[in-house]
Amino acid sequence: MGITERKERERQEVRSLILEAAQQAFIEDGYEKASIRAIADRVEYSPATIYLYFKDKSEIFFAVHELGFEKLINQLLDAVEGIENPIEKLRQQGYAYMNFALENPEMYDLMFIQNAPMEAIFENEEWVCGHRCFEHLCDTVQQCIDNKLIKISVLGVATMSIWSFMHGLVSLKIRNRFKTFPQEHIQNLMSASVEQMIALLQND
């Protein structure tokens, strides 16, 4: 391995360490309290070193939430591998999305609920990882529309309706809005809700 390659590998390793520390800081302390210095202290670097990799805290936050989207997209792809029926693809994507949120509640909160990453998006005028995730859902919904398997024929309306339903469902759970329900029944209720959504979408 040459000097250039070694330096690039070392740079990526340091960047990964910073993002791991930042993720924990955002989860444990919240975005507002997680300062650049606090992140630097976790990896025993100076704040100046952090600024060699990221221009500000918002950019770090955005990079952290991109890692979450990579994981989510991989889970969505794994969930539909080998499945031909579009409705079944949609069902399994719904479960994969729900499971991701329930297994990674803090990361889901960073990705979809907190405002901080959107500041970086507005600066860059793009949200590549978010759009990729949405496009995967759009592809499946379009297959359902093409095969006349769902009642809604407008792609944008159908996709946004499904995403909004799933986001609302898991957000209620991870933000502890189901506390008044018998906790042993929550998972079954959420699964039944996914099935009801699929049933309502389908053509008779």
156-198 residue pLDDT tens: 999 999 999 999 999 999 988 888 777 778 888 899 999 999 9
pLDDT in the model for residue 28:
87
Q: What is the dihedral of CA 45, 46, 49, 55, to 10 degrees?
A: 120
Residues 192 and 128 in one domain: yes
What pTM was computed for the model?
0.86
First to last CA, the chain: 61
The answer to whether the beta carbons of residues 166 and 90 sit under 8 Å apart is: no
pLDDT in the model for residue 46:
93
Number of domains forming the structure of the chain: 2
Residues 183 and 132 in one domain: yes
Residues 14 and 79 in one domain: no
Residues 43 and 117 in one domain: no
Average pLDDT over residues 76-97: 95
pLDDT in the model for residue 125:
59
Residues 42 and 80 in one domain: no
Query: Residues 186-195: pLDDT tens digits?
Result: 888 899 999 9
The one-character DSSP state at 113 is I
Angle (nearest 5°) at CA 167 between 164 and 172: 125
**C-alpha distance from residue 136 to each of 69, 94, 129, 132, 181 (Å):** 12, 12, 11, 6, 33
Query: Residues 109-156: pLDDT tens digits?
Result: 888 887 766 666 666 657 788 888 999 999 999 999 999 999 999 999
Residues 110 and 191 in one domain: yes
**φ, ψ dihedrals at 125, nearest 5°:** 60, 30
Query: Residues 3-49: pLDDT tens digits?
Result: 778 888 889 999 999 999 999 998 888 888 889 999 999 999 999 99
Residues 69 and 138 in one domain: yes
The boundaries of the domain holding residue 17 are 1-54
pLDDT in the model for residue 121:
65
